[in-house]
């Protein structure tokens, strides 16, 4: 909401500095996003300031109101004219090519003279011819143009930073005082205020002025709504019929006759322009001006057109009917678009058909045109939800729709019409008909809310007396009564311009906001909660999750977090082409792009994407991600959000450095080692790794991980056919995906720690030769079982295949540590165990001790 200071000052006195005002408005909820200085000097750029600052300053001695007394042809240039201009000090000859002076060329002495924005020699203006995107300035120098001495100029709006208009020069109103600094005459400061939905009532000058009055303690002046109604009565000239008061609580019409289509005064056009509204003609400008001022959007109909339509239909006078549209009904709006309507759209029609999209935009057939003389002016109230839905469905934002879709109090309707008629008469002449046609079937209830100082204490933590509370609310035009009783209470009646105050406890909360805002959030003290602490419960799942994150990071893995929106095609890449199973996805109805059209099902797919996007940057990648996947579930409206852990590693085992350590590429056992360490670190208990089948992984390099009987995840080397689906390097890529909830559930709350043995350990190495097909885990299990409790550690330190052990065989070399808790072990003890291990290896696994 762009708010010119000069306009604001018509309704409230402001005697604090601009930046202070901006700060106080911002703190009170009217956030000033930008302050635009139109003609006034900008604040020091180096200083801290409340909002973004823009604008262009006009030198008060250099840029003044000038009066052109005569426009003369240039002796040898058709496109230039010479002006006899009075700048309040003396007459000048000013050269210009402005086409809007050509009509006056050779017309002799002008009476009244034309008032212009005159820049004297040396003045700085904006370079209107600069092609640069940045604003560039130029200083006016004396030079000869086509033989004529030129040292000053009459300015366009662009040259003064008012608008981009550079077709002609500014022609000020006739009463502009010659010689006065231009900034004193039309300079302004425009606050751009962000209006939050609950402040919709303030999307107008009076609304902002009311807030300023409340926070500065100044008096709010009300606009003059009286007008000389000299015409005949409006009664009998138009009928109004509201079919659904819930959609249209109020509908007012006023009439002005014999107005003249002409431009509004320059000052009006300038204000509209500064508010971001294009000036059209005095009649249309009056509707916009009144709306910006009061917040009541108005719509102007050409009365004669309505009259003609009624008479063609055999009626005496037009009847305005408001109703909901029929689905599929059509209307051409005044932007020339033919619109197909929905049944929630509210229409203003007459006997013969639709005239306007109520509260949003008028129709092309009945709008103000160059011939219009008699204007029927509508001010109404519309259901905000229907308006909002229409705006959305038609993608048709407008100033009117903006306000009606946030709620406009019906009390404003006649005020808007009266103000609009007055402005029309002022700027376009004509006679205002007596009275209004005012249908008001559905007045809103303006709630009265009772609050007490104790309420304020309980909500805000501040102590205010009943009088102080009433004072604050009255500054916002609440009508307050404080009956003399104990404990004191205030009954505050909501003023008839706002719809945001509820009843009961909601109304109380609404008033708390008003009290806190006007009192000043900055004056509320800071306290620490004295309320009881709730029972402390902790968050076990998150604790474990965070522990796992720490563990994986400490193992050298980088945490990543991917987008959770993906596409089925992307996720299908984790299977060999043609082998992707049919999977049900939670799909977005309104995706931004096909690449992000569904909720992911696979976290593995996410980490593979990350590897793919990074491997060109570095060849060693080791990452993990923790997060949900979304699994639609038959019969459930919401997908199951299952917690997952995924890992991916690829590239050299160590980082490249000058030491030249050659450690090779990471393989299956690197990932397995990471998993063993991480899961071991959670004291998960008995984790089993079993050869697995998973189409994503190499069939011979894939394992499933079991915890008891339940599978908790799988991992392996990426299948070569899957690799082909990605843009990936040739090195093995190892990846894993786990069901994180299953891991978290299995983490024990407590775990036991064994005592440090007092007895010396005995170390022994043992190499076993067995068939290649026998998994090493079987050998290890056999050794562990045979060794029993005194075998405290078993580690595989070598796997050998080759001539020394023969074809189809492998040698597994283990180092064993024996410790007896109570006594020192003898060679005999150890030999006994060794013998039984060898015996069982031979009998049960068909292996033998390697010589």
Partner 1 sequence: MLEKLEQIKKTALTALTGIEGEEALNKWKTTHLGRSSAIMDAFKSMGSISKEDRGIMGRTANQVKLALQAALDEKKDALHQAAIQHALQEEKIDVTLPGYAIPRGRLHPATQTLREIYRVFADMGFQIYRSREVETDEYNFQLLNFPPHHPAREMQDSFYVASDADRGDNPILMRTHTSPGQIHAMRELTAEAPDNPPPVRIILPGMCYRYEQVSTRYESQFTQVEGLAVGKDITFSDLKGTLSDFARRMFGQDVASRFRASHFPFTEPSAEMDIECFLCGGAGCQVCKHSGWLEILGCGMVHPNVLSNGGYDPERYTGFAFGMGPERITMLRHHIEDIRYFWANDMRFLEQF
Stretch that binds partner 1, among 2-10, 443-451, 588-596, 791-799 (CB under 8 A): 588-596
Pinpoint the alpha helices (H) of 447-564.
453-460, 466-475, 504-519, 540-554
Taking the CA atoms of residue 383, residue 384, residue 389 and residue 391 in that order, the dihedral angle to the nearest 10 degrees is: 110
3-state secondary structure of 595: helix
480: tokens are 């307050």
Q: With respect to partner 1, which residue has the nearer C-beta, 461 or 708?
A: 461
State the minimum distance, in angstroms, from the CB of residue 747 to partner 1.
17
Per CB under 8 A, contacts with partner 1 among 63-82 are: none
Among 556, 680, 748, 760, binds partner 1 (CB under 8 A): 556
Nearer to partner 1 by Cβ, of 48 and 789: the residue is 48
Q: Which is nearer to partner 1, 47 or 486 (CB)?
A: 47
Q: Which is nearer to partner 1, 374 or 643 (CB)?
A: 643
Token reading at 298? 């108005």
Starting at the earlier edge strand, list the strands of the sheet with 2-4.
2-4, 188-194, 31-39, 52-57
Cβ-contact 514, 424 below 8 angstroms: no
Q: How far is the CB of 315 from partner 1 (least distance, A)?
A: 36
Stretch that binds partner 1, among 147-155, 619-627, 799-807, 816-824 (CB under 8 A): 619-627
Nearest-approach distance from CB 701 to partner 1, in angstroms: 22
**Interface stretch with partner 1, choices 175-183, 624-632, 734-742, 777-785 (CB under 8 A):** 624-632
**Nearest-angstrom CA–CA distance, 615 and 718:** 15
Q: Is 613 in the site for partner 1 (CB under 8 A)?
A: yes
Could you count the other beta carbons within 10 Å of the beta carbon of residue 396? 16
Nearest approach, Cβ of residue 606 and partner 1 (Å): 9
Contacts (CB under 8 A) with partner 1, residues 145-204 = 196-200
Find the part of the chain contacting partner 1 (CB under 8 A) among 51-59, 71-79, 783-791, 829-837: 51-59
Stretch that binds partner 1, among 185-193, 481-489, 589-597, 813-821 (CB under 8 A): 589-597
Query: Where is 319: in which H helix or E strand?
Result: strand 319-324
Q: Which residue has the tokens 């193992």?
A: 555
Which of these, 789, 786, 738, lies nearest to 766 by C-alpha position?
Answer: 786
- The interface with partner 1 within residues 236-255 (CB under 8 A) comprises none
Q: What CA–CA distances, in Å, run from 437 to 250, 251, 257, 307, 548?
A: 11, 8, 15, 16, 74
Instruction: Count residues binding partner 1 (CB under 8 A).
Output: 108
Minimum distance from CB of 761 to partner 1 (Å)? Answer: 31
Which of positions 632-691 make contact with partner 1 (CB under 8 A)?
Answer: 637-639, 641, 654-659, 661
Q: Which stretch binds partner 1 (CB under 8 A): 277-285, 454-462, 750-758, 839-847?
A: 454-462
What minimum distance in Å lies between the beta carbon of 538 and partner 1? 7
Query: Pick from 1, 85, 182, 621: which binds partner 1 (CB under 8 A)?
Result: 621
Question: How far is 427 from 26, CA to CA, in rounded Å?
Answer: 35
Binding mask 351-390 for partner 1 (x = CB under 8 A): ---------------------------------xx--xx-
Q: Tell me which stretch binds partner 1 (CB under 8 A): 69-77, 488-496, 562-570, 816-824.
A: 562-570
- Nearest-approach distance from CB 542 to partner 1, in angstroms: 6
**Interacting residue with partner 1 among 133, 530, 662, 753 (CB under 8 A):** 530
Footprint on residues 14-33 left by partner 1 (CB under 8 A): 26-29, 31
Site for partner 1 in 469-528 (CB under 8 A): 505-506, 508-510, 512-513, 516-517, 521-522, 524-528
Q: Rounded to whole angstroms, how far apart are CA atoms 286 and 40?
A: 27
Q: Which range binds partner 1 by CB under 8 A, 96-104, 169-177, 238-246, 626-634?
A: 626-634
Determine contact, residues 729/650, Cβ cutoff 8 Å.
yes
- Our measurement of the distance from residue 553's CA atom to the centroid of its chain's CA atoms, rounded to an integer in Å, reads 34
Contact 701, 717 (CB under 8 A): yes
Minimal distance in Å, beta carbon 42 to partner 1? 12
| Given 462, 544, 572, 782, the residue binding partner 1 (CB under 8 A) | 462
Q: What is the distance between the alpha carbons of residues 92 and 166, in angstroms, rounded to a whole number?
A: 22
**Helical pair 466-475 and 205-216, crossing angle rounded to 10 deg:** 150
Coil, strand or helix at 467: helix
Determine how β-strand 2-4 pairs with β-strand 188-194.
antiparallel
Choose among 123, 120, 109, 102: nearest CA to 167.
Answer: 102
Residue 587 in the binding site for partner 1 (CB under 8 A): yes
* Shortest reach from residue 460's CB to partner 1, in Å: 4
Strands (E) located in 740-808: 762-771, 791-800
The Cα 397–Cα 672 span in angstroms is 59
Please enumerate, as own/partner, the contacts of 634-641 that have beta carbons within 8 Å and a separation of 24 or more.
Answer: 639/586, 639/599
């Amino acid at each position: 909401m762009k708010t010119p200071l000069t306009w604001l000052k018509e309704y409230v006195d402001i005697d604090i500095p601009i930046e202070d005002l901006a700060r106080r408005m911002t703190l009170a909820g009217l956030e000033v996003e930008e302050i635009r200085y139109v003609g006034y000097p900008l604040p020091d750029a180096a200083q801290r300031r409340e909002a973004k600052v823009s604008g262009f300053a006009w030198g008060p001695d250099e840029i003044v109101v000038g009066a052109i007394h005569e426009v003369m042809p240039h002796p040898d240039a058709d496109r230039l004219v010479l002006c006899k201009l009075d700048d309040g000090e003396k007459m000048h000859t000013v050269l210009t090519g402005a086409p809007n002076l050509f009509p006056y060329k050779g017309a002799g002495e002008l009476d009244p003279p034309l008032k212009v924005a005159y820049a004297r020699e040396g003045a700085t203006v904006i370079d209107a011819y600069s092609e640069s995107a940045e604003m560039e300035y130029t200083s006016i120098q004396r030079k000869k143009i086509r033989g004529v001495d030129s040292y000053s100029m009459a300015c366009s709006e662009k040259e003064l930073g008012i608008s981009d208009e550079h077709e002609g020069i500014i022609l000020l109103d006739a009463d502009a005082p010659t010689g006065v600094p231009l900034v004193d005459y039309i300079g302004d400061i425009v606050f751009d205020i962000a209006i939050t939905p609950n402040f919709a009532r303030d999307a107008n000058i009076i609304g902002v002025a009311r807030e300023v009055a409340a926070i500065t303690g100044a008096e709010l002046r009300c606009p003059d709504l009286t007008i000389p109604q000299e015409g005949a009565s409006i009664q009998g000239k138009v009928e109004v019929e509201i079919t659904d008061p819930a959609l249209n609580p109020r509908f007012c019409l006023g009439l002005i006759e014999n107005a003249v289509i002409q431009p509004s005064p320059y000052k009006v056009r300038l204000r509209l322009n500064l508010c971001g509204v294009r000036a059209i003609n005095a009649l249309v400008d009056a509707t916009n001006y009144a709306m910006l001022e009061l917040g009541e959007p108005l719509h102007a109909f050409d009365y004669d057109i309505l009259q003609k339509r009624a008479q063609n239909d055999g009626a005496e006078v037009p009847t305005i009917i408001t109703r909901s549209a029929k689905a599929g009904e059509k209307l051409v709006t005044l932007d020339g678009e033919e619109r197909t309507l929905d049944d929630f759209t509210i229409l203003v029609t007459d006997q013969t058909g639709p005239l306007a999209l109520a509260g949003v935009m008028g129709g092309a057939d009945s709008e103000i045109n160059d011939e219009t003389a008699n204007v029927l002016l509508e001010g109404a109230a519309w259901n905000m939800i229907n308006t909002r839905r229409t705006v959305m469905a038609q993608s048709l934002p407008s100033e009117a729709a903006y306000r009606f879709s946030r709620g406009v109090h019906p009390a404003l309707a006649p005020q808007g019409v009266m103000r609009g008629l007055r402005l029309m008469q002022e700027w376009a002449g004509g006679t205002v008909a007596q009275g209004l046609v005012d249908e008001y079937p559905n007045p809103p209830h303006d709630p009265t809310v009772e609050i007490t100082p104790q309420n304020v204490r309980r909500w805000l933590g501040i102590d205010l007396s009943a009088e102080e509370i009433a004072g604050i609310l009255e500054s916002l035009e609440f009508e307050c009564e404080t009956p003399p009783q104990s404990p004191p209470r205030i009954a505050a009646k909501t003023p008839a311009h706002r719809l945001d105050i509820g009843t009961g406890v909601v109304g109380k909360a609404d008033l708390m906001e008003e009290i806190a805002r006007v009192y000043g959030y900055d004056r509320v003290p800071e306290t620490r909660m004295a309320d009881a602490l709730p029972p402390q419960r902790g968050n076990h799942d998150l604790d474990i999750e965070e522990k796992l994150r720490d563990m994986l990071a400490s193992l050298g893995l980088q945490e990543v977090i991917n987008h959770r929106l993906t596409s089925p095609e992307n996720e299908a890449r984790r299977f060999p082409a043609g082998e992707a199973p049919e999977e049900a996805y939670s799909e977005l109805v309104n995706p931004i792009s096909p690449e992000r059209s569904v909720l992911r099902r696979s976290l593995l797919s996410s980490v593979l994407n990350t590897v793919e996007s990074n491997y060109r940057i570095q060849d060693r990648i080791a990452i993990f991600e923790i997060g949900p996947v979304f699994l639609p579930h038959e019969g459930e409206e919401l997908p199951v959000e299952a917690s997952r852990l995924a890992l991916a590693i690829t590239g050299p085992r160590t980082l490249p450095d000058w030491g030249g350590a050659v450690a090779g590429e990471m393989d299956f056992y690197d990932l397995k080692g990471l998993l063993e360490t991480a899961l071991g670190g959670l004291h998960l208990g008995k984790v089993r790794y079993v050869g697995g089948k998973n189409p994503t992984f190499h069939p011979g390099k894939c394992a499933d991980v079991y915890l008891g009987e339940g599978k908790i995840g799988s991992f392996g080397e990426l299948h070569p056919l899957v690799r082909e689906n990605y843009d990936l390097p040739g090195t093995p890529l190892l990846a894993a995906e786990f069901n994180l909830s299953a891991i978290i559930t299995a983490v024990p709350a407590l775990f036991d720690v064994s005592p440090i043995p007092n007895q010396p350990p005995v170390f022994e190495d043992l190499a076993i030769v067995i068939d290649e097909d026998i998994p090493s885990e079987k050998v290890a299990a056999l050794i562990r079982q045979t060794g029993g409790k005194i075998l405290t550690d078993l580690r595989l330190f070598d796997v050998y295949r080759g001539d020394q052990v023969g074809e189809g065989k492998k040698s597994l070399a283990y180092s064993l540590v024996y410790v007896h808790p109570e006594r020192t072990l003898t060679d005999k003890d150890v030999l006994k165990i060794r013998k039984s291990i060898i015996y069982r290896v031979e009998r049960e696994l068909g292996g033998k001790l390697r010589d």
